[in-house]
Amino acid sequence: MARTIIPFGPQHPVLPEPLHLKLVLEDEIVQEALPAVGYVHRGLEKLTEIRDFNQMVQIVERVCGICSMIHAQCYCQGLEEMLGITAPPRARYLRTIWSELHRMHSHLLWLGLFADGMGFESQFMQCWKIRERIMDVNEATTGNRVIVSVNVVGGVRRDLNDGQLRWIGSILDQVEAELKALKKPLIDDYTVKKRTVGKGVLTAEQVYELGAAGPTLRASGVAQDMRMTRYAAFDELVFTPVVETEGDCHARLKVRYRELLASIDIVRAAMRALPEGELAVAVKDKPAGEIVTRVEQPRGELLYYLKASGKKNLDRVRIRTPTFANIPPLLAMLPGVELADVPVVVLSIDPCISCTER
């Protein structure tokens, strides 16, 4: 019964980003975990002192490479509320379409990484192959692959024409077919279940108390999704959160997989209902006041606290990213887990460390 401290990360084969965990082990079992972050802190919140509120749109996009669109959407929504303007309906629908496409490519990226974390290389390739179709949609419709830069305070910068909508529809059909083919080898597979079922279990009470967000929360049976707050086009679209109840890694896998299919439906519904009209409203005033806005990122609830006093620069931009909220639950998941399962459990919260540290 020797106690050992094993450093996990910051450079670890399964970690896409530098997260450092000090694991206190007794034999092979983790007793305690202590995180150390700070490897990719960039001080983006501080930049608001030298960049004006319009330039900040492009800066907050760079908080996270995977869900850039959703960061900008959240920021713009907050500023619009502060300025007392509303984005035109078409802009809100377009934001929804692009943000759901972002969710899909983020979840596919994660599915791939998770499979890779278990050593399931061919599944990793398969997921990323599907993801590439969505990246193509992003590039063709917004101009950029990852950091799409379509949001502007007051609306969006790009439009989708009928041809593009039809093309996106056909891509979604392909993606859906490929995803359905993925279900058996990814979700129902014996080996995958062996690696994930019963690993890193958190009950609904625990996960709620620890302030978890997104799929981590919903996999334990708490039906909380910021899209239920009806931002953007969700006030008109039908939306039901995806919930699983087991609270283990397999449940988190299932939540993300089912969310992918749900996102396809949301994009389709939004494209069908896409209203005509303006893309953006003009912004004349300077923002003043305090605002808290929340949207649902692929990893969970994203919160922006914005404070302004009628100047060109905002006084404070405070970003609470979902991974930041998911680290305390991760620390609660790890005790009792075998060392060999630590990568799977760590990946199951979909850690995005650049987000966390900003």
Partner 1 sequence: MFFMTKTVFSNLFSRYATRLHPFVVREPFPDARGELYCEIEKCIFCMTCQRKCPSQCITVDNKAGTWTCDPMACVYCGVCVDNCPVACLHQKQTYRAPTPERLMLSLTGTPPRAARLAKAKTPEAAPARAGEPKAEVPPVKAEEPKAEAAPEKGEGPNEEAASAKAEEPKLKAAPAAKPAAKPAAKAQAKPKAQAASKPKVKAKGGKGKA
Partner 2 sequence: MQNVTPVTIAELKTACQAAKAEGCRLVTLSCAELDAETVDIIYHFDKDLSLKHYRLTAKKCEPVPSISDIYFAALLVENEIQDLFGLSFSGLVVDYKQTLYLEAEVRKTPFCKYSVAIANKA
Phi-psi region of 310 (alpha: psi -120 to 50; beta: other; left: phi over 0): left
By CB under 8 A, which span of 24-32, 139-147, 241-249, 333-341 interacts with partner 1? Answer: 139-147
Determine the length of the chain.
Answer: 358
Binding map of partner 1 across residues 67-96, x = CB under 8 A, - = no contact: ------------------------------
Is residue 249 close enough to count as binding partner 1 by CB under 8 A?
no
Q: Could you say which DSSP state residue 75 is in?
A: H
Residues 118, 329: Cα–Cα separation, whole Å? 21
- Both structure tokens of 215: 């799929």
Is residue 177 close enough to count as binding partner 1 by CB under 8 A?
no
The residue type at 339: L
Residue 49 backbone dihedrals phi, psi, to 5 degrees: -70, -25
Is residue 122 close enough to count as binding partner 1 by CB under 8 A?
yes
Half-sphere exposure (Cβ direction) of 176: Cα atoms closer than 13 Å:
14
CB 179 to partner 2: min, Å: 29
Q: For residue 3, with 0-12 CB atoms within 10 Å meaning exposed, 13-18 middle and 19 or more buried, which class applies?
A: exposed
Is residue 162 close enough to count as binding partner 1 by CB under 8 A?
no
Beta bridge partners of 291: 306
Residue 88 backbone dihedrals phi, psi, to 5 degrees: -60, 155
By CB under 8 A, which span of 92-100, 128-136, 268-276, 295-303 interacts with partner 1? Answer: 128-136
Is residue 316 close enough to count as binding partner 1 by CB under 8 A?
no
Is residue 41 close enough to count as binding partner 2 by CB under 8 A?
yes
Half-sphere exposure (Cβ direction) of 74: Cα atoms closer than 13 Å:
31
Q: From the list partner 1, partner 2, none, which binds 285 (C-beta under 5 to 8 Å, kind-based)? A: none
CB 327 to partner 2: min, Å: 6
Residues 64, 71: Cα–Cα separation, whole Å? 8
DSSP 191-260: HHHHHHTTSS---HHHHHHTT--THHHHTTT----GGGG--GGGGTS-------SS-SHHHHHHHHHHHH
Is residue 231 close enough to count as binding partner 2 by CB under 8 A?
no
Return the residue of 93, 120, 231, 304 that touches partner 1, per CB under 8 A.
120
**What residues contact residue 207 under an 8 Å CB cut-off, 6+ apart?**
216, 217, 220, 222, 247, 329
Given a contact cutoff of 8 angstroms between Cβ atoms, the answer to whether 211 and 325 are in contact is yes
Q: Could you say which DSSP state residue 338 is in?
A: B
Q: How many residues bind partner 2 (CB under 8 A)?
A: 36
Q: From the list partner 2, partner 1, none, which binds 41 (C-beta under 5 to 8 Å, kind-based)? A: partner 2
Binding map of partner 1 across residues 41-60, x = CB under 8 A, - = no contact: ----------x--xxxxxx-
By CB under 8 A, which span of 93-101, 126-134, 182-190, 325-333 interacts with partner 2? Answer: 325-333
Positions in 188-227 near partner 1 (CB under 8 A): 188-192
Residues 120, 112: Cα–Cα separation, whole Å? 9
CB 124 to partner 2: min, Å: 30
Is residue 38 close enough to count as binding partner 2 by CB under 8 A?
yes
Q: From the list partner 2, partner 1, none, which binds 320 (C-beta under 5 to 8 Å, kind-based)? A: partner 2
By CB under 8 A, which span of 132-140, 206-214, 233-241, 334-342 interacts with partner 1? Answer: 132-140
Beta bridge partners of 32: 24
DSSP 258-282: HHHHHHHHHHHHHHHT---S-SB--
Is residue 355 close enough to count as binding partner 2 by CB under 8 A?
no
CB 298 to partner 2: min, Å: 18
> Applying CB under 8 A, which residues contact partner 2?
34-38, 41, 43, 45-46, 208-211, 224, 226, 228-229, 289-292, 294, 301, 303, 305, 307, 315-316, 318, 320, 324-325, 327-328, 332, 357
> Applying CB under 8 A, which residues contact partner 1?
51, 54-59, 62, 120, 122-123, 125-126, 129, 132, 136, 139-144, 147, 149, 157-158, 181, 184-185, 188-192
